[in-house]
Chain A
């Protein structure tokens, strides 16, 4: 909300007049944050009010006029050359930018010859001062303008003022007008609100017409329209608004249109009550004003010229013949004020916030009026606003106000007073509030507080404060007036809270992977559908059935990720584009899968499963000193995966040969198992998949589902060996197709208690020596007993048993 400092001061009576900075500080401290403070007159300087005392044509040009001006009564006249067509007759006041004056755009005036005649500065038009867009001629002040000669032009133009940009909280619709802000300012600075009393004006401007004879209200739906006040102003003439009146509107962001329209906007900004002016003669005769829901198929051409299809939820104003306006959103073109208007029906009403909000949003018509109705307009304002506007219309339009008003008043009954307990306020705030400080604060807020026993009150807030419904609301407001600076800093007493679970499995995974030398990425939870499609998952894979965002900001954020892999592949591509060829990243985060039983497409009806995954990608070379690249390979991915699994407490992570993962290379992929359960996959990313991300080099991958890991208990010590171990080797000639894991499994199958460790020591292939399709492996087996030093015969017996088993169970020959 934009507010003018002069307007606020006009509406409150303060003990001392604050500076605008003091006012802004008070409002900000009270919760109405002043986000901007603009000196409206800062755009120019050295421009003064001057009076024309004589004028004559320029001898060299018919378009130029020589104007004599004075800046003090009976002072010396100065001749200025003026090119405007509207130089007024002597006696009127104009704005003279004297030599040395500065104008917007960094212009500094000097004395310069114009067609041979020296001109000290110039007479200014509005747009030259950065105000409005009127360049039809120079500014000529109204005949009765009271500004003194020689005074700064800012004063005459109404820009010797400050504009406050107020951030009004969503629950403070009452502060969307100067009156509401003035009420706050008065409360915070210890003053009181001043309301315009227009009864004397109404009496003075009364016409013989009676409102009730000219308009009838027939409003059935009290919920949709709890209050509707109508007034008639007759005999008005359309014209421009007075300069300073128009300037106020311009300052708060409304373009002045004509006196009749400007008045409704002026009162809206003054009181916060939106108003609408109908041309009475263009309404059905006699008008019978109703408010109802639109019927299906009804249409209305609104003020902006758009013919709009109405929907049954929309609230419309009717005049007996059909819809004439979209209530609270926009008037109809057929009944709008025109240059020919002479009699006006003023509407000052309140409408159901929800309907206005829905209609305004559907039609994209967020007006000053709809924004206020959406936040709720105090129905008690309607008659005051109608009266204030009627008086202004009559004054500015030269008309008279019909006697009386029509008033559909179906406001809900006044709310009961709100109980307030001092003790409760003290406990909740932890602040030293007293009976006196509470009562003072309530009074300043305009609340009526009746004592209800010791330290208890029954409080009736002002009708404008629809947000003060409960004791806690009052406590907040009392504290606001007392000042939040009075709240001390204390600590809550320590009570037994739940187990301090400060390290989640996700964080353990992150720490393990960072400790292993990888760099953590965090990517968006949503992604582009194309990135998921690039993985080539079959349609019945849960990961191929993402949950879509209904209203994404771009296609790149249209679905929730079902895998961490696509975003990490995209990160590789991005780093490559930055000239970084070596990328080793990991991410630990949630993926989003449709809950069990949900259909594979369409909007879900249940929340998602959100397992936490960890994924690692390796591309390019591992860190090296210099020289040739040392490319990552799949065994690096395996190393990181096993390191992670062990860090998460898995005692026996294993890698099972070959995995059916569509985005892995068909020959370079494996499942990671813990206790026989698959917890993830690793391998080389399928060349087709990485190509879809624009990566032309191998990418190695590991991904684990952290939900498959049990919370590990404390590690239990195993006895440290006290007797020596002995190793024996066995060299095997094997077909290429036998995986190493199978050899290990056969050795493990021997269940030989003395075996401590089995390790592959060497592997080599040599078709000439070994024959094609064969490989030679040297396995080293370590034997140890916990309670004695093993003897050679014991070791030999165990070792030969294992070797015999290997040659029996595998197509293996001992070499």
Chain B
């Protein structure tokens, strides 16, 4: 049976859908596909060319052809969508097929290190700050008067032997302790005073546990009614915060002599490592010696013009290197000052 022109036109349109699918099959990017799509559907495209024949058909047939044309347009759009979806899926599959050996080295994020002594010093200051202490500082090159005389250590005093001194001039020394900061603070501020003074000091001493430069932290409290027992309480708080972990460390005072305090004591903490049972670190005694302390001597108050009948006070001093050594198991004091990255980067 012969086909009608209408049927021929419809089958021509239907063929175009097949031709389009074949045309985009080898394409793998959307732009080329859209160009092909425009080629088929545009004003000069194949579909339009077929549709120009529409006027020649009987009017009654025209809706059928219109339907066929829409069907072709839908088929072409669907073919593009399907093809794009297939391509996206292929890309995703390819991406997921990637593997990276994450056991290769990391890209380094530069990690800085505060010196262990800085870390410990900052922690000490924080602990005392909890009790209301402020930080005070003073010069490292100091007058003999601030370093010794005002602290009741006159020239020829035997206690000067205890601190072999570097001199810069007759009356100028490298401070042997942070105690001159006490004097400067008391000269500058009337009581109440509550300060800690961390800083570097110098003594002519050089072996495995002594360095000619080392650092101390000094504490000073002056007010009405300050008691020797307050010194014990403050140091007990400190011991437990710094070494304690779960608390329960005691402070022991042993009488000792420092010309600028009376009574003067050596301060021991319960050994935090054996909890007082005795171990290598405390040489079996259960106690760790941590520093010197005492009640501010009336002669010191006199030197700075504070009335010792009205005010009392206490002072303490501790070596920061020693505390770091104890807590971090540092074996040689020299390691702190050599700038050795193998040491510095550990903390």
Binding site for B on A (CB under 8 A): 28-31, 33, 169-172, 353-354, 357-358, 374-375, 427-431, 470, 472-473, 475-476, 479-480, 484-485, 487-502, 504, 507, 510-511, 513-526, 547-553, 557, 560, 567-568, 570-571, 574-575, 578, 580, 583, 585, 589-590, 592, 603-605, 607-608, 610, 622-626
Contact = CB atoms under 8 A, between A and B. Distances in A.
B295 interface: yes
A756 B247 CA distance: 56
Contacts of A603: 168-170, 172
Given A484-B255, A490-B227, A550-B166, A520 B212 contact: no
A287 to B, nearest CB: 31
21 contacts: A33-B254, A170-B158, A429-B228, A470-B262, A473-B262, A476-B263, A480-B263, A488-B229, A492-B226, A498-B195, A507-B118, A513-B112, A516-B110, A519-B345, A520-B115, A522-B336, A549-B174, A575-B339, A592-B141, A623-B110, A625-B107
Nearest to A481: B255
Nearest to B251: A489
A472 B340 contact: no
Given A487-B232, A490-B233, A480 B297 contact: no
A548 B168 CA distance: 6
A73 B340 CA distance: 72
A488 B230 CA distance: 8
Interface of B: 104-115, 117-118, 122, 125-126, 129, 131-135, 137, 139-143, 156-159, 161-162, 166-170, 172, 174, 189, 192-195, 200, 202, 204, 206, 212-213, 221, 223, 225-230, 232-234, 236-237, 251-257, 259, 262-266, 295, 297-298, 312, 336-342, 344-345
B232 A623 contact: no
B169 A507 contact: no
Contacts of B253: 484-485, 487
B270 to A, nearest CB: 12
A521 B115 CA distance: 6
Nearest to A354: B156
Most buried by B among A31, A470, A494, A605: A31
A514 B118 CA distance: 11
B141 A610 contact: yes
B107 A547 contact: no
A677 B312 CA distance: 47
Contacts of A605: 169, 172
Given A511-B114, A607-B141, A485 B252 contact: yes
A30 B167 CA distance: 35
B212 A489 contact: no
A299 B144 CA distance: 34
B140 A610 contact: yes
Nearest to A496: B192
B220 to A, nearest CB: 11
A551 B167 contact: yes
A492 B194 CA distance: 10
Contacts of A487: 228-229, 232, 253
Contact of B134 (A29, A172, A499, A578): A499
B240 to A, nearest CB: 11
A497 B114 contact: no
A427 B232 contact: no
A431 B228 contact: yes
A669 B9 CA distance: 84
A763 B259 CA distance: 69
Given A494-B131, A495-B223, A526-B212, 4 more contacts: A492-B194, A516-B112, A550-B169, A578-B342
Nearest to B342: A578
Nearest to B314: A492
Contacts, number: 266
B255 A604 contact: no
A590 B140 contact: yes
A510 B117 CA distance: 12
Contacts of B228: 428-431, 479, 487
Nearest to A467: B257
A578 B343 CA distance: 12
A473 B194 CA distance: 25
B167 A489 contact: no
B168 A498 contact: no
A550 B32 CA distance: 88
A90 B269 CA distance: 61
A500 B195 CA distance: 9
Contacts of B227: 427-430, 490, 492
A574 B236 contact: no
Contacts of B223: 492-493, 495
A475 B256 contact: no
A31 B312 CA distance: 23
A497 B137 contact: no
B257 A358 contact: no
A549 B166 contact: yes
B251 A575 contact: no
A172 B254 contact: no
B263 A375 contact: no
A583 B169 contact: no
- Which 7 pairs from chain A and chain B are nearest by CB? A517-B110, A430-B229, A31-B255, A571-B339, A430-B227, A169-B257, A514-B112
B290 to A, nearest CB: 15
Nearest to B164: A551
A526 B141 contact: no
A28 B140 CA distance: 34
A784 B263 CA distance: 71
Contacts of B340: 571, 574-575, 578
Given A500-B132, A625-B106, A171 B259 contact: yes
A491 B233 contact: yes
A429 B228 CA distance: 4
A585 B229 contact: no
B251 A472 contact: no
Given A497-B134, A607-B142, A522 B115 contact: yes
Contacts of A479: 228, 263
Nearest to A548: B168
Contacts of A515: 112
Contacts of B339: 521, 523, 567-568, 570-571, 574-575, 585
A497 B133 contact: yes
Given A430-B227, A578-B340, A480 B255 contact: yes
A711 to B, nearest CB: 14
